[in-house]
Structure 1
Amino acid sequence: MRKSIVLLITLLFITAIAALIIKNVDDTQKITQYGNMNKNLVQLQMSINNINDEIGEFISNNNDNLSEVFEMIPEAIPLEFGDIKALVTLELYDESSYYLFDKNITKNLSDEDRMYIVDPYTLEEFIKENNITNKKQIDFVVDKYVDYVRDDKILSIKDKFIPKKLPKLDEQNNSIEYVSLEYSVQVGNIEANVEMIINSRYKTKEMYKVSIDRN
């Protein structure tokens, strides 16, 4: 019985997102008729805002049984209506898959380890330019730094960069779970890719990254 309820909740969630995408088409037509706006960009922004809001609400409402809910959610949820196409992927946050670094990632290193970084200011600038969320991005930034300073000593301590740990309890000692969300939205020739980590209890974004490409 409980699994049936969870499955129904999941189906309602997918239906709600699909309905929002359909509504976006109608709302966009109403907005663009009063001004010289790029219709695709308007639909893209509205789709991102609505998907973010709907997923945040869904996660918050099911905070107490997230594990069960996520067993029912498909690995990827494809959505399409007219010119709008979306592909949504949701999963429980895995600490081993993501790294949330402070901008000054060298501050947790020992004095001895810092000696391997010949130009810490340049390294920190490269870190600021990239919202690091996985090991591949760490490798990219370090390789970029090595090419710039022409010194590869930093490779000896790359694995010692310490990520920011997300708290498992709030100030009232309530447990907190996090959800990893990735989705793409394409409207005509414009595509947005969104990545975020959401605090399931408070719907806050611990990491948020949006990139937009034109095909």
Structure 2
Amino acid sequence: MKKSIVLLITLLFISAISLLVFKNLSSGEIYLSSVNKEHNNTQVILLIKNAQEELLSYFSKDERYDSFISKKEELSLPFHIKGIDFSLTLSKYNKEININDFSLSDKKKKKLFLQKIEIIFNENNGEINIFKDVVNSYFLRYKITKENPIINSKQVNNIMSDYLQKTYRKEANELIEKIGFLPITFRESEKKQNNNIQYILCTLDFKINKQEYRSHFILDIEKKTNNTGVIDFAFTFK
């Protein structure tokens, strides 16, 4: 019975998201029939923006966000509408290491953080001392502080590239997957920290007129990072 309820909730969620996507693709503004690449790029960005707004609206109700997080690690929804191959992938943005915690000023919290990353690096055959040197150098060079934190994946990737160079490694995928950023949780105040930041990692893939597009971004459901509710936006096409 319990499994049936979980399945029903999942199906209802998929149906709701599917309707949102169909609504956007069916609107007159988003009809993509042109073979002109520049026109398609503009229209795809508009479609992505609309999808972001619909997803933020959908997940803004706590019970929907909680239901999604508790029932699914990742959700992938493929569509084919109006000649467009479309895929939406959603998952909770959850990284074991918040790179911004290197800016912690509370000594006890900083000590616990450093102990935590040392364990993670040891478990993944990483070189923690080199990593700490790379992070400290990057923070100093770009003046990264509590007030001016790491705010996107590109910055994290740059740090990891420096780390790979200094360790003469070609890859460190296990570690890279564990390192991210949360611009809010590291901030210290007299009040209790809010550790329940609602972030959802989204990837949108399109294929239109044989042209492939990909966008990934993080939804800040409560819009605590900025008023758009979207951070770490990236858009690529082939």
Provide the rounded CA distance (Å) in 2 between the counterparts of 1:162 and 1:182.
Answer: 16
Amino acid of the residue matched to residue 208 of structure 1? Answer: D
* 1:43–1:187 Cα contact (<8 Å) kept: no
Deviation at 1:59, TM superposition (A): 1.2
CA positional deviation for 1:28: 4.8
Distance in 2, Cα, partners of 1:167 & 1:122: 18
Instruction: Calculate the aligned-residue CA RMSD, in Å.
Output: 5.1
**Contact 1:193/1:212, CA 8 A, preserved across alignment:** yes
User: What's the CA shift for 1:82?
Assistant: 3.0
| Residue identity (%) | 14
1:27 aligns with 2:29: yes
Per the alignment, residue 209 of structure 1 pairs with 233
Match of 2:205 in 1: 184
Corresponding residue pairs, total: 188
Which residue does 1:167 correspond to in 2? Answer: 185
Quote the Cα distance in structure 2 between the aligned partners of 1:115 and 1:72.
34
Say if 1:193 and 1:162 are closer, same or farther in 2 by CA, change over 3 A. closer
User: What TM-score do you get using the length of structure 1 for normalisation?
Assistant: 0.59
TM superposition shift of 1:138: 4.5
Change (3 A) 1:52 1:65: closer
Deviation at 1:99, TM superposition (A): 5.0
Deviations 1:61-81 (A, max 9, x none): 3x2342323426972101222
- Give 2:113's aligned residue: none
Q: Secondary structure at the match of 2:42?
A: helix
User: Does residue 54 of structure 2 align to residue 54 of structure 1?
Assistant: yes
Return the offset for 1:180.
Answer: 1.7
Counterpart position of 1:200: 221
- The aligned residue for residue 142 of structure 1 is 163
Matched residues in 2 for 1:46 and 1:206: separation?
A: 14
Q: Which of 17, 26, 34 is 1:13 aligned to?
A: 17
Q: Tell whether 2:88 aligns with 1:88.
A: yes
Is the 8 Å Cα contact of residues 199 and 205 (structure 1) preserved in structure 2? yes
Aligned partner of residue 94 in structure 1, secondary structure = coil
Instruction: Give the equivalent residue in structure 2 for 1:66.
Output: 65
Query: Gaps spanning 5+ residues in structure 2: where?
Result: 111-128, 145-150, 170-174
> For residues 6-41 of structure 1, what are the alpha-carbon distances to aligned partners after superposition, in whole Å with 9 as ceiling and x for unaligned?
743541221121221122xx32569x8xxx994322
Moved more, 195-204 or 87-96: 195-204
Measured after TM superposition, the shift of residue 101 of structure 1 is 5.1
Letter in 2 for 1:41: N
What one-letter code is carried by the residue in structure 2 that aligns with 1:12? A
8 Å contact from structure 1 (residues 196, 209) kept in 2: yes
Q: Tell me the CA shift for residue 45 of structure 1.
A: 1.7
User: In 2, Cα distance between the equivalents of 1:210 and 1:65?
Assistant: 26
The change in CA–CA distance for 1:69 and 1:131 in structure 2 (over 3 A counts) is closer
- Does the 8 Å CA contact 2:24/2:30 hold for their aligned counterparts? no
